[in-house]
Structure 1
Amino acid sequence: MCNTGHGKAQNRSNTDALTLDTKPDVLKTTALAHAAYLARLPAPSTLATWDVLEIGSGTGLLSLALASAVRSLTAVNAAEGMIAVLRAKLRAPGAPPQRRGRSVVSNLVLHHVADLGVLFKTVWGCLKPGGEVMVTDFEDFGPEARRFHPEARMDGVHWHGIKRDAIRAVLEGPGFGDVSVETGFEMEKMVLAVPGNGVKEHKMVFSFLICRGRRPAAG
């Protein structure tokens, strides 16, 4: 296999899988995303009938947090190392059963996808009529948004956050209705004081967008 940027990014994801669950920023953004989802999802009695698919699930932090509230949940990720960690969690005593789903969520995935139009066409095909997509990622508010990732970890980063108008247009492309793009939460993050110097000593606040759309019901 050619050692392309995508291949290097996937290899790094396989390595990162071993320590991902110990990273404070990862745990923080997962908890904030989970709370933001629950605040916008239907009442527990309705949510318990939903089938959910998480794309770019990593080690399953968000999937496992949502699993007890929904009827079924499927987690997918391109990096085998991430899925291996999730499988180990699912083999642990008391883990929820592995199931299949159709409603779609993701967190901090979109900025790693080169062609968002293709992604959301695929998501459209995963949803039954009336199904909903709800995804979160940090907002592109200008050149400083690039600092979300250290320069040494830019392999596989295609966007420095998500632009509100652009993501709305992408969702509307396949035909999603009831499209909304709003600030879901904010997260303070340590970033490099000087890009490339390896020293994280500067704090920045990043806004995360929640982007939603619904596939119209049949008829």
Structure 2
Amino acid sequence: MANASQARFNAEAAAWDSNPVTVQSSALAYKSLLEHIPGLNTTNPREDGLDVLEIGCGTGLLSFALHPHVRSLIGVDTAEGMIDVFASKVSSRFPSPGAAAKANITAVNVLLTDPDDFLLQEAAALTRQGRVDRPARFDLVLSHLTLHHIPDMSEILKTMFGCLKPGGRIALTDFEDTGPEAVYFHPEEKREGVERHGIKSEEMERLIKEAGFEEVRVERAFVLEKYVEEEGREKGFPFLICMGRRPA
């Protein structure tokens, strides 16, 4: 993620969860994931649920909604301020001595590099937290409103592929590049560090296939209503969900 974006997210971390648009987009992404990923609907998630990696987890708005549905969830983010807020939530929700270290949800501040290096960084960070029960690979890799900050989409998809178990899946949500008007998703003062103004359906489908995934689907997931300063009105921004499966 670009340095300008890191600086902005660090500065906004403390107030992130009070932004109604951020909260709404995470709620809509959560609903879409439950509709599209059957493994999130198991009746015994601690026994037969999914081990999940969320890239660009932020303060955990989506993570904490999902963690009752999964066996484990590890969030990663390059903005240290976001990880600090995430960690404080874990501590407050699991307050008894040692409970936070045993919880099925945590987050680490690591860089998105090649899969092997990324997993080594992640393992080292989790060890520092006293966690030794991390999965070696994941059943599901998620991201929400992260792809438009990634400089090299091909490389991040390869990293995701390498972090999955055979048969594991990705489910990535972000706003759609519908043309010139997509730039208005971000106010002008927040456009520095944005790598692309939305993602394109056909391009994402091609890149996911090139990364080695099968069963690739890119679909319209939901529409987020957001106030656009330049137009002085609410505007609907469509979101895509991008899915694929690592061959078994």
TM-score (norm 2): 0.80
Instruction: Quote how far apart the aligned CAs of 1:45 are.
Output: 3.4
**2:189 is the alignment partner of 1:152:** yes
The SS at the match of 2:222 is: strand
2:24 partner amino acid: K
Alignment match, 1:203:
234
Alignment match, 1:216:
247
Instruction: Quote how far apart the aligned CAs of 1:8 are.
Output: 2.5
| 8 A contact 2:2–2:149 mirrored in 1 | no
**2:173 is the alignment partner of 1:177:** no
**2:134 is the alignment partner of 1:106:** no
Q: Distance in 1 between matches of 2:199 and 2:5?
A: 20
**2:9 is the alignment partner of 1:13:** yes
Q: Distance in 2 between matches of 1:111 and 1:142?
A: 14
| 8 A contact 1:90–1:97 mirrored in 2 | no
Encode CA deviations 1:172-196: one digit per residue, 9 max, x unaligned: 11210000000011111101135xx
Q: Distance in 1 between matches of 2:165 and 2:44?
A: 16
| 8 A contact 2:184–2:230 mirrored in 1 | no
Q: 2:42 aligns with which of 41, 44, 57?
A: 44
Instruction: Quote how far apart the aligned CAs of 1:46 are.
Output: 7.3
Q: Distance in 2 between matches of 1:174 and 1:148?
A: 28
Q: Distance in 2 between matches of 1:124 and 1:93?
A: 32
| 8 A contact 1:111–1:162 mirrored in 2 | yes
| 8 A contact 1:111–1:158 mirrored in 2 | yes
| 8 A contact 2:71–2:104 mirrored in 1 | no
Alignment match, 1:141:
178
Q: Distance in 2 between matches of 1:98 and 1:32?
A: 21
Q: Any gaps of 5 or more consecutive residues in structure 2?
A: 95-99, 107-133
Instruction: Quote how far apart the aligned CAs of 1:113 are.
Output: 0.6
TM-score (norm 1): 0.90
Instruction: Spell out structure 1 runs of 4+ moving beyond 3 A.
Output: 45-48, 93-101
The count of residues paired between Structure 1 and Structure 2 equals 207
| Equivalences for residues 79-90 of structure 1 within 5 A | 79-90=79-90
Task: Give the % identical residues.
Answer: 45
| Cα RMSD after superposing both structures | 1.6
**Structure that is richer in helix per residue:** 2
Alignment match, 2:59:
59
Instruction: Quote how far apart the aligned CAs of 1:203 are.
Output: 1.4
Alignment match, 2:26:
30
Q: Distance in 2 between matches of 1:98 and 1:45?
A: 18
| 8 A contact 1:132–1:212 mirrored in 2 | yes
The SS at the match of 1:155 is: coil
